[in-house]
Structure 1
Amino acid sequence: MHFSVLASGSTGNAIYVESGEHAFLVDAGLSGKQMETLFQGIDRKMDKLSGIFVTHEHSDHIKGVGIIARKYNLPIYANEKTWKAMEPLIGTIPVEQKFQFDMETVKTFGDVSIESFGVSHDAAEPMFYVFHQGEKKLVLITDTGYVSDRMKGIIRNADSYVFESNHDVQMLRMGRYPWNIKRRILSDVGHVSNEDAAIAMSEVIGDRTKHIYLAHLSMDNNIKDLARMSVSQTLEQRGVDLTDQLGLYDTDPKKPTNLMAI
């Protein structure tokens, strides 16, 4: 498998995953034109995609879903509640392109199996995905207020993680957001902080884990260097040795990460 975090942040999210037989897009929270540019950045084309997997209906995850699916005749996969919440926002989708992917189930596409699991976020029925190819395992988990023991069991000991590290708590508390927004972000259905993300990481990464991508950083309440420093310090305090074999990587709201092989 190869993957790239095409864009990550409150302005739009999209992740590309490919295997030997298929190529997938998880969310498309940017315009069709922006998505085309992001694909050019990794030397890939959207007409080679096998489908789009939706995590939840918030606009920073579905802005381009409808236009891309219609243009390239792509199937869209989402659970029933997400479909109901999303349909008024993405325009008409032909029935033959609409597929239901229930939470905590597995779908197999050739050489890849995709496992869905629920997260805690203020959406209809938010869920993220684990990609399995043989013994290889890629976990995508953002947009959750906390990481439960159930989630940890599903995502444990992956080769690579795209893991939410949304905010620095002090920056958020002291920042310009109104209190109701701060309270929502800090809640169990909001977003995980740098420190909470690192604590969860320390409990799930295993001997095969090689890559951790820090994702969905707040533009107002976080900084890449701060997120990396906070996460690395917390991991090291909890006995995780960050070496050349286990690396932390940045993501960006406007440019894709290099294609990473698992």
Structure 2
Amino acid sequence: MRVDVLCSGSKGNSCLVTSGSARLLIDCGSTKRYLTQALTQVDVKPEDLMAVLITHSHSDHISQLKMVQDLPLFSCCDLKEGQKKHRIMPGDWFILGPFKITVVGLSHDSPGGCVGYVIDDGISRLVYVTDTGFVPNAARELLSGADAYVFESNHDVATLMATNRPMYLKQRILSDSGHLNNEDSAQCLSQIVTGNTKHVILAHLSDEANTPEMALDAFHDGFQKRGLNDSAIDVQCAKQKIITSTKEF
């Protein structure tokens, strides 16, 4: 399996998952121009995709539905586009080509709910979790021991509080239906990462309330506090308009 996070952040989110010739897209945010260019960079056309998995209905995750409306769409929420939409719910699992996909319920203030995905191609396993105020304890066993993680590390709390954002927005982000902060993300990852894990991509970093350096420092600190060695893990921060890729795993 290989992962290419095409874009990640408040202006757009999309991730390509590849196993052999099979390709899935998770979310389809950003602009049409950028998403088209990003797919071209990884040598993929929309018609090459098997399906699109949607996490939730916020515009930074679904703004380019028209680009993929002829493909099978899997979503827990209502979508304006897509005659081939399949309704999914947390706890569901289904097969697409070589992929077994398990739907994980998350906590985010989006109409119709929000989900993450565990994707297994029979050789390796990917966990995709973004846009959640917390990770439910009931899901942690399912999320444990994956080969790769794309995992939210949205903000540094002190930096968020120092921004000029209105207090109601800060409270929303900090809430149980908002976004994972760096420390909570690191703590959770330190509990579910195992010796199997080769790649971690920290995702959905805030432009105003985070930096890659802060997110990475929090990740390493979280592991050190539990006496864990993370030196064998390739850790990266996803960018808003630069593709972030793993090697095959």
Say yes or no: TM over 0.5.
yes
Letter in 2 for 1:220: E
Task: Please give the per-residue CA displacement for 1:40-75, whole angstroms capped at 9, x wherever unaligned.
Answer: 22232222101111000000100012x1124xx211
**Root mean square deviation of aligned Cα:** 1.3
SS at match of 1:12: coil
SS at match of 1:190: coil
Letter in 1 for 2:194: G
Whether 1:230 and 2:218 are equivalent positions in the alignment is yes
Residue 179 of structure 2 is aligned with which of 183, 191, 194? 191
Residue 75 of structure 1 is aligned with which of 72, 76, 79? 72
Deviation at 1:21, TM superposition (A): 4.3
Task: Please give the per-residue CA displacement for 1:105-161, whole angstroms capped at 9, x wherever unaligned.
Answer: 111112111111100110121111111011411000010001121121211110000
Equivalent residue, structure 2, for 1:13: 13
Residue 115 of structure 2 is aligned with which of 127, 148, 163? 127
Which stretch has the larger CA shift, 176-185 or 150-159? 150-159
Distance in 1 (alpha carbons) for counterparts of 2:217 and 2:228: 14
SS at match of 2:16: strand
Deviation at 1:99, TM superposition (A): 1.6
Equivalent residue, structure 1, for 2:241: 254
Distance in 2 (alpha carbons) for counterparts of 1:138 and 1:44: 20
Deviation at 1:259, TM superposition (A): 4.7
Which stretch has the larger CA shift, 55-64 or 100-109? 100-109
Equivalent residue, structure 2, for 1:204: 192
Decide whether aligned partners of structure 1 residues 237 and 259 sit closer, same or farther in structure 2, where only a CA change above 3 A counts: closer
Residue 155 of structure 2 is aligned with which of 154, 160, 167? 167
Whether 1:56 and 2:56 are equivalent positions in the alignment is yes
Q: TM-score, normalised by structure 2?
A: 0.96
Aligned-pair identity in percent equals 33
Mapping of 1:126-145 within 5 angstroms?
126-145=114-133
Residue 100 of structure 2 is aligned with which of 106, 113, 119? 113
Query: Which blocks of at least 5 consecutive residues in structure 2 are unaligned?
Result: none
SS at match of 1:260: coil
Distance in 2 (alpha carbons) for counterparts of 1:255 and 1:217: 13
Distance in 1 (alpha carbons) for counterparts of 2:45 and 2:3: 14
Aligned length: 248
Q: Is the CA contact (8 Å cut-off) linking 1:156 and 1:206 kept in structure 2?
A: yes
Equivalent residue, structure 2, for 1:26: 26
Equivalent residue, structure 1, for 2:35: 35
